[in-house]
A and B are shown apart, each in its own frame.
Chain A
Amino acid sequence: MSPELLTGLVVFVLASFVGFEVINKVPPTLHTPLMSGSNAISGIAVVGALLIAGTQDWNVTTSLGFFAVILATINVVGGFLVTDRMLQMFKKKEAK
């Protein structure tokens, strides 16, 4: 196992614990927005897509990267916007 992989595993496990701790006692109305918001964060794969799409001349890797950029951007932009729309609706409901 390479040192990079080992470091990555350490980071992964520690960040997982943070993820476990951050979420507790979420009221049911927030289940879908929270799911949607965290889904938008998982669109962070876009960073990986950008890195492989922009490295070299046109080839299989950059083509796959190109499609990955499109898909991940849909995930990011759509995810955050949809979450905001949902949360906006809750606010109006409470105001009534």
Chain B
Amino acid sequence: MNNTLLTGIELSYLVAAALFIVGLKKLGSPATARQGNVIAAVGMLIAIVATLIDQSIVSYELIIVGIVIGSLIGAVTAQKVAMTEMPQMVGIFNGVGGAASALVAVGEYWRLLDKGTNIGFDAVLIAILGILIGGVTFTGSILAFAKLQGLVSGSPVTFPFQQPFNASLLLAFLAGSVYLFIHPTSPEILLALVAISLVFGVMFVLPIGGGDMPVVISLLNSFSGVAASVVGFILYNNMLIIAGALVGASGLILTQIMCKAMNRSLTSVLFTAFGGETSGTGNGAT
């Protein structure tokens, strides 16, 4: 492969990562926020163009169709959404981002399965993490969206044996993971892990009240950053790791700031329904 080209791509990635950092920094202050958003968007454009130049990409039809469809859906929904529905809009965008990360994790694992090569410990570990974090982000965000939008009840939902149910899910996930480490070529176990991750996301958001959803969406945003970072580990792409880690860490801090603004602690937001206390009821939050 052409060395100059490779260096160029890597340097573009470096520029993109730097622009993300500057953009995030500027987004945190009222005077520069809008500029910060544009800077981050430029970083994204550079990253995407640099990736398209990559010579491992040989067919562009699918990619172009995908980008056009995605851009249309994204642009139209972003224009149509009412200002009062912003938090849930962020939630659903976040959800599809998490889903994309999980799909890449599954897709890359499938490529290794197809190739029939030995799948090492590292590859299995990273795939499992990507599926778990991406899957939880996806269904968790969709449920958070549904709660804020009033599609489902905004009140915390608890049911008998909730905690034992969650514990057995966790055990099943761990057992499946161990099995996959020992027998990496078992697609059905991989799919089972995907399914469990999706249920996890629902179980995570279900007991949390609608009024606390913005905090939950912020936390899930942090998750989706980590999910993107895991994709970076899968593809050995440092820029992805940096961008994902940035969002993961800043999202966590932002979540904490939002909790403080509500005079709550993160643990009380996440676990009050289990303690029997009711948190705020849906609609009109933020």
Contacts and interface: CB of A to CB of B under 8 A. Distances in A.
B23 A55 contact: no
B193 interface: no
B103 A65 contact: yes
B24 A38 contact: yes
B78 A85 contact: yes
Given A53-B62, A62-B62, A71-B100, A23 B258 contact: no
Given A52-B107, A82-B89, A45 B101 contact: yes
Interface string A1-34: 1101101100111011111101111111111111
B58 A56 contact: yes
Interface in A40-74: 40-74
Interface stretch (B63-71, B178-186, B196-204, B269-277): B63-71
Given A23-B24, A69-B70, A73-B70, A12 B229 contact: yes
B119 interface: no
User: For A43, A47, A64, which residue has the most chain B Cβ atoms within 10 angstroms?
Assistant: A47
A19 to B, nearest CB: 3
Contacts of B126: 5
A8 B232 contact: yes
Given A62-B62, A64-B104, A74 B214 contact: no
Contacts of A91: 34
Contacts, number: 364
Contacts of B29: 26, 30
B27 A37 contact: yes
Contacts of A68: 99-101, 103-104, 107
Given A15-B241, A52-B107, A39 B94 contact: yes
B177 interface: no
B281 interface: no
A85 B34 CA distance: 9
Contacts of B244: 12, 42, 44-45
Nearest to B261: A28
A46 B34 CA distance: 23
B57 A75 contact: no
A35 to B, nearest CB: 5
Contacts of A2: 120, 122
B243 A42 contact: yes
Interface string A69-96: 1111111111111111111111100000
8 contacts: A23-B253, A30-B30, A44-B243, A48-B100, A66-B62, A75-B96, A80-B40, A87-B33
Given A19-B246, A38-B250, A68-B99, 14 more contacts: A11-B238, A28-B261, A38-B221, A43-B93, A44-B243, A48-B101, A49-B104, A51-B235, A53-B62, A65-B62, A74-B74, A80-B37, A82-B90, A90-B30
